[in-house]
Amino acid sequence: FVLHLNCAKAVHMEATGIGFGEDISHSNLYLAQGDNTFTDMIRTMKNGVVISDVTGLHAGWNPITTQFSLQASGFYVKDGEIVHPLNLITIAGNFLELMKDITMIGNDLIHYPTGIGSPSVLFPSLAISGEGK
Q: What is the pLDDT of residues 47-62, one digit of tens each?
A: 999 999 999 877 888 8
Q: At residue 13, does pLDDT exceed 70?
A: no
Indicate the pTM of the whole model: 0.74
Report CA dihedral (15, 1, 56, 104) to the nearest 10 degrees: 160
Q: At residue 46, does pLDDT exceed 60?
A: yes
Q: At residue 123, does pLDDT exceed 80?
A: yes
Dihedral of alpha carbons 33, 39, 40, 46, sign:
positive
